[in-house]
Amino acid sequence: MELIDGMDLNKAIFKNQMFDDSIPKKTLHSILTQMAEAVRYCHCEKFMVHRDLHVGNWMITKDNKVKLIDFGIAQKLGKNGVSKEYWCTE
């Protein structure tokens, strides 16, 4: 477990507690890229589905490092991939 010195994305971004006026495009791009990489890592490297992704379960540190937290209802999957119940419906 890791102690994170930061705040959740809801406070940092949507309630403007971390950024003065607006988020610079470069910083926003970095945040979104880190979020996508975290989800990719969970799915492809650890074979895990988080099952509770929302802004309150993402933390951002003072140096803009994004961390995915609260794996309380995550589910470990077999190495054969994701079962049908987690497939996207179209």
Decide if 52 is catalytic.
Answer: yes
**Residues 80, 84, 88, 90: is their CA dihedral positive or negative?**
positive
Closest CA to 61 of 12, 10, 22, 1: 12
| Selected catalytic residue, list 5, 52, 63, 70 | 52
Residues labelled as active-site residues: 52
